[in-house]
Amino acid sequence: MSVERVVGLGAGAAGLDPVYERGGTGTASELPTTDMVLNIGPQHPATHGVLRLRLTLDGERILHCEPIVGYMHRGAEKLFEVRDYRQILVLANRHDWLSAFSNELGVVLAVERMMGLEVPVRAVWLRTLLAELNRILNHLMFLGSYPLELGAITPVFYAFRERETIQAVMEELSGGRMHYMFNRVGGLKEDIPLGWLERAGAASAAVRRRLPDIENLILGNEIFRARTVGIGRLSPELIAAYGVSGPIARASGVDADLRRDEPYLAYEELAQDGVLRVVTRTEGDCFARFAVLLDQVKVSLDLVDACLDRLRTMPAGPVSTRLPKILKVPEGQTYCWTENPLGINGYYLVSRGDKTPWRLKLRSASFNNISVLPEMLPNTIVADMIAILGSMFFVVGDIDK
């Protein structure tokens, strides 16, 4: 009969176990052969927030992993139902706080589709530009934080330098550093300030010029490669089974990107011009996921520059559609999805003709991406679990909603 011992992270190492001493030479120093259940989290630096992993271990080797979520559950979908469509945007940009603009975008696109609204062309290109700037901000955060989880502190300073460069122009435009609240049903809150396109172009050029600093610092580092190459391989079959999407899926050779495959905003034209490229790798390991993220920043910088060029030649015009004071969506339903920085975000909107939605179901990227962990972690060791978990690039609020 097998016996389980449940401990918290570090309990045995700290000498807190009454039976098995730390060190020592007596019988108590012999390691037990029974499986041990170890809780990583819900508050632990490796979990990006209050995520809990319940690991069953045989020595250092993981036999089973059970992700336990819900510690940050705020009931966003139910809160959507008691707020009008303008108020929903305040909540929608917060579940993935690193992708606030993109989160807003999914909601307004769904509402505009239901209402049959045609957004001014200037707003379409500005939305595309801001969505790509937001994607760069998201990826830079993980490009800095992932090496930090593996013991390298320097890259996070480089990544935050680039984030602040982009953040400055986003804050100037919207007034917010994380939660921009700049989208509106029918367009955008307001037009850009005088000279903003030039400042945004300078920020893009500065990040492009300095991005090799991060690349050279990390990708050639032999310790980083030893911790990531060949670790945590994820097959295309598992990706399809669990609905994994975004950079994680593309790092395993899954050539899928909604910006190209089901275009929205100005992405169809950008794809036709060859500016939008879908970055893929075939290895499917931790290193490939990191490398895809870095390459996607380069693609997003190309998209930003293309949008800036188009906006510079575009005549002045409106950035929003005039709407009634009380906004009501016609009765019906629609499903709108976007290629968010972390993967596919989907909004299933059901309306009964009121000023509030009858149902607004959110499909977040992080939830599906984390759901595959029980398939990835068995037969790996605890140290590699940290590397694998960090390479899944998730936000806990995006999991729990």
Amino acid at 349: L
Q: Which two tokens stand for residue 30?
A: 């012999």
Same domain, 27 and 89: no
pLDDT at residue 59 above 90? no
Give residue 15's domain range.
5-68
Given 26, 41, 68, which residue is the final one in a domain? 68
**Do you know the residue count of the chain?**
401
Q: How confident is the model at residue 18 (pLDDT cuts 50, 70, 90)?
A: very low
* CA–CA separation, 284 and 252 (whole Å): 4
How many domains does the chain divide into?
Answer: 2
Whether residues 220 and 360 fall in one domain: yes
Cβ neighbourhood burial of 208 (10 Å; 0-12, 13-18, 19+): middle
pLDDT in tens, 318-338: 999 989 888 999 999 999 999
The pLDDT score that the predictor gives to residue 134 is 95
Choosing from 38, 68, 98, the residue where a domain stops is: 68
Range name among 10-24, 82-96, 97-111, 114-128 with the lowest pLDDT average = 10-24
Nearest to 201 by CA among 160, 163, 166, 161: 166
CATH number of the domain encompassing residue 259: 1.10.645.10
> At 39, which helix (H) or strand (E)?
strand 36-40
Mean pLDDT of 224-248: 94
pLDDT digits (tens, 9 = 90+) for 124-170: 999 999 999 999 999 999 999 999 988 889 999 999 999 999 999 99
| Local confidence band at 357 (pLDDT 50, 70, 90 cut-offs) | very high
Q: Say which residues have a Cβ less than 8 Å from residue 55's Cβ, sequence separation at least 6.
A: 37, 38, 39, 40, 62, 64, 65, 66, 377, 382, 385
Mean pLDDT of 341-363: 93
Torsion angles phi and psi, residue 265, rounded to 5: 50, -135
Q: Are residues 35 and 98 in the same domain?
A: no
Contact 332/92 with Cβ under 8 angstroms? Answer: no
32 pLDDT tier (thresholds 50, 70, 90): low
What is the pTM for the complete model shown? 0.88
**58 shares a domain with 124:** no
Higher pLDDT, 92 or 23: 92
- Residue 45 and residue 189 in one domain: no
Q: Are residues 192 and 142 in the same domain?
A: yes
What's the average model confidence in pLDDT over 167-185?
91
| pLDDT of amino acid 178 | 84
Mean pLDDT of the residues in the chain: 88
44 plus 176 within the same structural domain: no
